[in-house]
Structure 1
Amino acid sequence: MSQPAKPSRTRARSDAPVSAASTKAAAQRLKMRRELASAAMELFATKGYEATTVDEIAAAAGVARRTFFRHFRSKEEAIFPDHDDTLVRAEAVLTAAPPNEHPLDTVCRGIKEVMRMYAASPALSVERYRLTREVPALREREIASVARYERLFTRYLLRHFDEHEHTGGNDEPLLAKVAASAVVTAHNHVLRRWLRAGGKGDVETQLDHAFGIVRSAFGTGFAAGAVATAERPAATARTSSDVLVAVARTDAPLDEVMRTIQQALKEA
Structure 2
Amino acid sequence: MGYVQGMPQAPRTSRTSSAPDAPESAAGTRAAAQRLKMRRELSAAAMELFATKGYEATTVDEIAAAGGVARRTFFRHFRSKEEAIFPDHDDTLVRAEAVLTAAPAHEHPLDTVCRGIKEVMRMYAAAPAVSVARYKLTREVPTLREAEIASVARYERLFTRYLLGHFDEQDHHPGNDDPLLAEVAASAVVTAHNHVLRRWLRAGGQGDVETQLDHAFAIVRRTFGSGIGAGRNTPEATAGHRPGTPVSPAASASVSGEVLVTVARTDAPLEDIMQTIERALAKG
State the TM-score, normalized to the length of structure 1.
0.76
- How do residues 61-80 of structure 1 correspond to structure 2 at under 5 angstroms? 61-80=67-86
Other-structure match for 2:87: 81
Q: Which residue of 1 aligns with 2:133?
A: 127
In structure 2, C-alpha distance between the alignment counterparts of 1:70 and 1:38, rounded to whole Å: 17
Change (3 A) 1:179 1:185: same
Mapped to 2, the partners of 1:202 and 1:210 lie a distance apart of 13
In the alignment, what sits opposite 1:167? 173
Q: What's 2:228 paired with? A: 222
CA RMSD of superposed structures (Å)? 2.2
Q: CA deviation at 1:204?
A: 1.3
Distance in 2 of aligned mates of 1:174 and 1:49: 41
For residue 175 of structure 1, report the CA deviation from its aligned partner. Answer: 2.5
The structure that is helix-richer by fraction is: 1
* Aligned-pair identity (%): 84
Aligned partner of 1:59 in structure 2 is 65
* Aligned with residue 106 of structure 2, among 96, 100, 105: 100
| TM-aligned CA deviation for residue 44 of structure 1 | 0.2
**Would you say the 8 A contact 1:86–1:114 is kept in 2?**
yes
Larger RCO: Structure 1 or Structure 2 (Cα < 8 Å, ≥ 6 residues apart)?
Answer: 2
* Partner SS for 1:24: helix
What CA distance in whole angstroms lies between the structure 1 residues aligned with 2:124 and 2:43? Answer: 14
Letter in 1 for 2:75: F
CA contact (8 A) 1:43 1:57 kept: yes
After superposition, residues 172-187 of structure 1 pair within 5 angstroms as 172-187=178-193
Deviation at 1:32, TM superposition (A): 0.3
Question: Is contact 2:167-2:179 (8 Å) kept?
Answer: no
CA-CA distance at 1:176 after TM superposition:
2.2
In structure 2, how many angstroms separate the alpha carbons of the residues matched to 1:221 and 1:158?
14
**2:85, 2:175 → 1: CA distance?**
43
Query: Does structure 2 retain, via aligned residues, the 8 Å contact 1:37–1:78?
Result: yes
User: Paired residue for 1:45?
Assistant: 51
| Paired letter, 1:214 | V
Runs of 4+ in 1 over 3 A off after TM superposition: 169-174, 220-224
Secondary structure of the equivalent of 1:12? coil
Q: Distance in 2 between matches of 1:99 and 1:207?
A: 24
Whether 2:208 is the aligned partner of 1:197: answer no
Which whole-Å CA distance do the structure 1 matches of 2:176 and 2:73 have between them?
48
Higher strand share: 2
Asked if 1:112 is matched to 2:118, the reply is: yes
Contact kept? 2:200, 2:206, Cα under 8 Å: yes
Q: Which moved more, 1:215-224 or 1:128-137?
A: 215-224
Structure whose CA Rg is larger: 2
Q: Partner letter of residue 105 of structure 1?
A: D
User: How many residue pairs were aligned?
Assistant: 217
The alignment's TM-score, normalised by the length of structure 2, stands at 0.72
What letter matches 1:101 in structure 2? E
CA contact (8 A) 2:99 2:115 kept: yes
Q: Name the residue aligned to 1:145.
A: 151
Segments of 5+ residues of structure 2 without an aligned counterpart are: 1-14, 234-284
8 A contact 2:82–2:143 mirrored in 1:
yes
Counterpart position of 1:207: 213
